[in-house]
Structure 1
Amino acid sequence: MRILIALAAALTVAGATTAQAAAPAALAAPNINVANVRAHLNQFQSIANANGGNRAHGRPGYLASVNWVKSKLDAAGFTTRVQSFTYGGATGYNLIADYPGGDANNVVVLGGHLDSVTAGPGINDNGSGSASILEVALQMKATGFQPTKHVRFGWWGAEERGLIGSTNYVNSLSSTDKSKIKAYLNFDMTGSPNPGYFVYSASGQPSGSLALQQRLQAGFTSINVQTELTSVGGRSDHAAFARAGIPIGGTFTGAEGRKTAAQAQKWGGTAGQAFDRCYHASCDTTSNINATALDRNADVIAYTLWATAA
């Protein structure tokens, strides 16, 4: 995730109507096993260790990460493709994975960036979101989920260089293909060690984003976690989709911003300390993950996907 953002005021529990509307589909969503997500993070760490300590755009650790995620999805029966682009004199890659079936004119996309900065392995930023959506994708197959909408996943390259991969992907779509995407859900930094529980605010976003915001809120409400809205602006890979008029939503556990006393009282953790003290640093390793936050966000991702795509 790229730059500092403002955090909005505390959000109250989502309305009963929203929660009830999402509940029938959400009940079918699996409880994501955080041990599986952490195993994926261990793999990203191993890839970084073997490739100069990072998984950055244009570096061998990034392409190794793409190839490993692709192999897992191919084995699960997804249709995958790697989209290449050039930035800063280096080749970058997006990995796109389509789940079989569903209405091709009604597409739900989940995504997160797979690259790190050059300073470190990027396990929270954004191995956490990447690993979480990978495990949710694998659980679609494992549970035999048959959504009525078509589901697509994207792992974006060169986010840390300015949202390059996701912008390249959206720009490559025809107007018709863009119109088929009815929702984009972005997951960037979902396991910060001093976590907050933030949901992307729909304010100022394309029509339809409020329903996604409320569904994410309902997911957290279902596991008794309070949330706050965050004004995401152009911080992460949702931005290209929003510019194309596609409804967006997402979750975030905080970066270099500091947790307030009120937030520490609500969520635990340490007031006055950054949500992620290792943001964009060499210490963003597998030790830089809060397993509870990772687990809760993974469950909310599944909840929201099942409710949105069913």
Structure 2
Amino acid sequence: MTLKNQAFFATGAVSHDLRAGIEFIRRDRLEAESAPGGTDDRFAIFAVDDMQLGGWTFTPAVRYETQKLDGTGTFLPQDYNNDALMGGASLRYEFASGFAVFGSLAYTESLPILDDLGTPVFMTQPEKATTWEGGASFARSALFTEGDAVRAKVNIYQTQIWDVTSYSAVGQIEMEGIEMEASYAHDNSLYVDFNANLVDGTETSVTGVDSRWRNAPADSAEITLGKRFGQAWDVSWELAASEGVTTSTGDRTPGFGVNALRTTYRPQAGGIWEDTEIRLSVENIFDKEFTPYLSTRPSPGRNFKVSLAKTF
């Protein structure tokens, strides 16, 4: 159960958008052959404040969480108490030209879970992580023609996790990468969207041996080309591509590129058709056989979809 409040106010020239609240969590699970049983009771208090002054936006955030774990059955009376103080802050500045720069730093803790009741050393060892991000964005209308719009953003990030308990024999995990997204819409209703994620991950075993992080995703990118015909029709083509991956054990997952076509119709007649959307799509047009990295099953072949949505 979460109780949350949002408040808008000003302190001098600084405007605030403050979200704050408290949270109660209770997990109650019976003991089974595959997992221990017990209760996990938690209480948390948190606050996030968007502070704006001119082109500056500063956002501090804080969360305090306390926990009581009680084992049952075989694990009775093993009781543990933990708490964590975590938080972060981000800073952004937007120039009058539409160009902006931003950065953030966060520290988080993941408190022990019921699954680890059988490993006492894990019950007082929260997983800990730090993440920093930095980048730039650009948003501008009427850049090349009177009615066009340009949006672009690049974000670089790095996450380090230590005191790892989620995976056996892993002491530390490090992930870093770059995210890119861009879009352009012309005043003749043509548009293009692009996004990509390039990521690298390393896991360090408890004995100090480095290898590729087993859950690091493959590098991927998507591009969409489309055109809108008035307010009613939107036709687009999409290409989604993923790079092949060779794991530290030598297993190979090939890369792939998959095409899709979509047509969206929004009736303009009003009445029962108001705020209604009909979408027709063909996914994996060329019926390509592939298995995405980290997936245990091949993806579907050529797929025809019809969807109907209405907003009330």
Indicate whether the TM-score tops 0.5.
no
TM bin (shorter chain): under 0.3
Relative to the length of structure 1, the TM-score reads 0.24
Bigger proportion of residues as helix = 1
Which structure's residues are more often strand, by fraction? 2
Q: Per chain length, whose mean CA-contact separation is higher, i.e. which structure has more relative contact order (CA < 8 Å, sep 6+)?
A: 1
TM-score w.r.t. the length of structure 2 is 0.24
Which of structures 1 and 2 has the bigger CA Rg? 2
